[in-house]
Chains A and B, each alone.
Chain A
Amino acid sequence: MTGTAPNSTAPKTVGAAKLAVRVSAITTLNALVTRFEFQRIDGADFPTFSGGAHTVVEMMDGEKKRLNPYSLMSDPAELSTYAISVRRDDQGRGGSLFMHQKIKVGDEMALSYPVNLFVLDLRARKHLFVAGGIGITPFLAQIKQLEAIGGNWELHYSCRSPDLGSYVDELTEYYPHATSVYYDDKKQLIDLDNLLDGQPFGTHLYVCGPKGMIDWVRKTATATGWPQAHVHHEEFFAPQPGRPFAVRLKKSELTVEVGAQESLLEAIERLGVDAPYLCRGGACGQCETDVLDSDGTFLHRDHWLEDDEKESGEKIMPCVSRFEGKILVLNR
């Protein structure tokens, strides 16, 4: 809708606002996870953010532009620096490997403004956090936010092993009574049934971690009478690779071949076409695109479109969804 208002009184722009930054510190936390800190090139403070927010990191990998979302894990009250923690994913599409192997202190990059799709419900009488592995990152910022306003919280954090327990030391040192840590290699499991039983009325439950953990927590919560509105989860859907396919962009009068390893949105951006986005994970709805013509099968992987919209063949979320077939024409 932006830029289409017929009575427009404003300059027309599309796309997210960006922050030009320099990498100010790189800290290896363990064999898998590295923390990156950024400062603004213009020396100004970063925008304030809310715990749970992410930023989309723009990486120039040669000719290829990679855009990956990472949770902001620094203190929301400390605005000279933004920090993210990146877990190396050897099987992924290469963004995390690029960060680990290519990025050096002093490199210039661009970050998006913070966007929060995993916000604290401030009505909660208590915030109960369940984290798995790198899923700890949004909670680090949320904990700092709650500490600043005197919120009531409790964290249950499951890691593979003490060696891979990112931020365990910091959490157990500062918040020994609110933090419980569980190690897979010591066969320590979160006793979820017991944990969910007896929580004060008005508690909200938040889970972030591998898909299996999210499903387990949500299912157990429902089975023990927790309403959906009190259970929150953060799950980024990285775009899945698939078969290459061709797409015609009607407005831009261009045709592009979407490669096996890139998303439809990335292919559109590769041509220099300005397409809106926020989360790049199928959750926010910003990149919703009208389909003008198609002959084939849509592989909808987003959490945004309603089922009837998916079936209609008239909409696609190019950040995560793909297509298999002969013809796909988009209004872009």
Chain B
Amino acid sequence: MTLQFNTETFRDDYSFHNSQRAIDRFPFPFHEDSYMYAVNMERHQGGPADSVYEKRFDVDEHYVAEMADRAKVLGDDPLRCQSLPHMTLAGWDLLELIMVSKSEEYPDLFELHRKGREWYWINKPLGIEDHFTFMDDTTLPYGPMEYITRQTQGDFCVLDQREDNLWMDAGMVTTQADWSLDFDIGMNFFEWHAPVPLAHEKGIFKRALKFLLNIQQGAPARRLNWTMTVNPLLDTSPENYHKWGIQKTTLTSENIGAKQHLRVELQTFFRLPRSNALVFPIRCYLMSFQDIVSKPKWGRRLNRVVRDLPEELASYKGFIDNRPLMLDYLSQFDDGLPTSFGVWPDEDITPTLQR
């Protein structure tokens, strides 16, 4: 199919919207009616046709608008993209991975022509055509990581692997769930996760790190994470928290269905060949509560998850104050019927809401 790209914004008038196709393929993150941290890793080698898991780097209807939002964020604050000096090689690895993947998986949108080190890249949706010399920084308008991640949805953390640990030594981070690359750059895996409650005690990070250290070339992995955002705001950065934090107080029982969004991160992990670094793309999918409850199974389940989530987690994820309002809304879509196991909406076997 040919993708139609939305004209939309993730700020000011918030004209962001999901088409029916986007709703159908939303990566709903809860496989059962409750949630607790888990490592929940699996191979990232395909998935059902047209799902967000199918391609290495999913391109969807929000692509052009997200890239415009990223350019705006970087214009306001160039420190959202940084790379420590030893990470340039990893940047070239990442550029190659993305260009090869996209040109193979979306040949109608992206083309890559290579003759030795002389490369020619065409990005049709963004109207970009560049000739450059692979591994020669002077032939691109930005560093290799910045160049390619200005053209790819999702945040990117590029992790150096040393001393049995991973180090956040480069990144492009403009759609983050309230953490600062400028502050966290240079930290190891345990340090940048330090503010996360409960998971350290449960040994989650130790196990996750062991898994990630062993991710090998040709065998990428993925997992989902989630949080809540009021308004479809991509740039929920700590840098701008003093500006967007107030929006959390604008929820009412009338506007919550449209304003409150579930924010899902599809996190993937690829070993990079020349640098042996690990790239950790964090792709953000937003969906309003009213679109979620259009799938009866998801509506029932989201009510139960939000209702039963431990206080520490609701607080860390930043919605403890709004939880009562959320439950007033969501409980209308939970009739107590059982839900099927797994993340898919299962519309063929799910009964409609019983009143």
Contacts and interface: CB of A to CB of B under 8 A. Distances in A.
Complex A–B touching at CB under 8 A: yes
Interface stretch (A11-19, A166-174, A261-269): A11-19
A229 B32 CA distance: 44
B343 interface: yes
Contacts of B224: 7
Interface residues of A, number: 38
Given A119-B161, A123-B86, A11 B43 contact: yes
**Centre residue among B51, B221, B276 by max chain A CB count within 10 A:** B276
The main secondary structure of chain A at its interface with chain B is: loop
A1 B211 contact: yes
Given A5-B42, A10-B42, A286 B214 contact: yes
B344 to A, nearest CB: 8
Contacts of A2: 41-43, 221
Contacts of A148: 135
B45 A13 contact: yes
A226 B154 CA distance: 41
A17 B276 CA distance: 17
Interface in B19-49: 29-32, 39-48
Interface string A223-235: 0000001000000
B32 A6 contact: yes
Nearest to A229: B163
B273 A10 contact: no
A121 interface: yes
A13 B274 contact: no
A115 B216 contact: yes
Interface string A125-157: 000000000000000000001001100000000
A3 interface: yes
A38 interface: no
Interface in A265-324: 278, 284-286, 288
Nearest to A306: B206
Contacts of A119: 161-162, 276
A114 interface: yes
Contacts of A188: none
Nearest to B28: A7
A10 B41 contact: no
Nearest to B167: A123
Interface of A: 1-3, 5-13, 16-17, 47-50, 52-53, 76, 113-116, 119, 121-123, 145, 148-149, 229, 278, 284-286, 288
